[in-house]
Amino acid sequence: MKKINILSRGNKFKWGYNFGYWSLFNFFKKELSDFGYSFNFYNKINSDFFDCDYIFVSNKFFTDNYKLKLSNKFGLFKKIISNKIRFNEIAENLSKKNKNLIWFDLTDSAGTTQFEVMPYVKRYIKGQLYKNKDLYKKNLFRNRYFSDFYQKKFRIERDIKFDFCKLDKSNEQKIILGWNLGVGNFFDILNYNNYEKFFCLSKLVFLKSKKELFKYSLRNREIVDKKFDIFFRLSNRKRNEKKSIHFQRQYVEDFLDKKYNVKIFKKRMSHKVYLNNLMNSKISVGCFGWGEICYREFEATRMGTAVVYPNIEYIETWPNIFVDGKTYKSYELDFSNLQESINFLLDNKSSRDEMVYNSQEILNKVYSNDGLDYIIKFLKKLD
């Protein structure tokens, strides 16, 4: 039996802690045990945490609103100067306690990396990766392919040099594709209320397996008659100084405001109303956030709504609901076919429905034997 300890910050009675990023290990706990893997979760570092075959550690454990939560136990961490987190020092100290350190980079973009930890980790995991690894050896503006594209094309910001660690070819074999936020299970606020959510979480005290509680998660909705043509709701982040990252959002918002009635979705609304509006829209037009993979497109899929989204053929990810023409309709980074893509889906109900169905099937398979096979193959790559 291979023992794996996972460092995961959070309250054990919070929804995201149990049904978020690490939920596959909760769902497949028995099956993974049959394959010879056992898992334990830790929300703090102690001596027991290192007593295992592998330690799973994510960068998110050490960040909270861009500040480091310091732990002095075992002399693991030093004080940070100017609030800059030195992940290489963290990884180095962790690897001294257990050499089989598996580093999970949960930053938002395929381009935002922490390759400075490479000398100290056995494997480096990321949920979305550039297919062309040479991009990790280039100077990309704000460390993102898309922000580099917009900066070069539109000169949105003054040129700035960024301090980041490029990928050394000798470390490429350490990189493994993990999984994106699409494996997470949103609470089904449409069918259950907050009291039932509390009741669900309270069962965690008594149940050995959490699998039966997954029925409270947001499930696929059938494709219904739609009231709205286009759903569009996001923060344009106009006040944020990192203009090249958010340029796409601002451009698409201005484009849609001039042509479609999307302002009705800008007012404050509860999450339940938000999901109902999404479900009652023919298409959801999306944009990148801090990274290329966002929650909205997975919510839209669950709600039976077709997706128009930037072309991310240059990225590999799992689960992958971004297969152009099959699961969504893409538009190019320069927006040259944005109107064309919108028109195509608005005018072709059969194509919309087929894309939704294909996307929903992909998400359904995450918690089936397909998902279990993916995790088993992933675990075997750690050796």
Sorted by where each starts, the structural domains of the chain and their CATH numbers stand as: 2-184 (3.40.50), 228-366 (3.40.50.2000)
Q: CB count, 10 Å around CB of 362?
A: 20
Q: Encode the chain (383 residues) as per-residue pLDDT tens digits.
A: 999 999 988 777 788 888 899 999 999 999 999 999 999 999 889 999 999 999 999 998 887 533 444 444 444 454 444 456 789 999 999 999 999 999 999 999 999 999 999 999 999 999 999 999 999 999 999 999 999 999 999 999 998 877 789 999 999 999 999 999 999 999 999 999 989 998 888 888 777 788 888 999 999 998 889 999 999 999 888 888 899 999 999 999 999 999 999 989 999 999 999 999 999 999 999 999 999 999 999 999 999 999 999 999 999 999 999 999 999 999 999 999 999 999 999 999 999 999 999 999 999 999 999 999 999 999 999 99
* DSSP codes, 129-190: EESSGGGGGS--GGG-HHHHHHHHHH--S-------PPPPGGGGGGEEE---GGG---B-TT
The pLDDT value given to residue 218: 93
Closest alpha carbon to 16 in 128, 215, 183: 183
Rounded-to-integer distance, Cα 323 and Cα 309, Å:
11
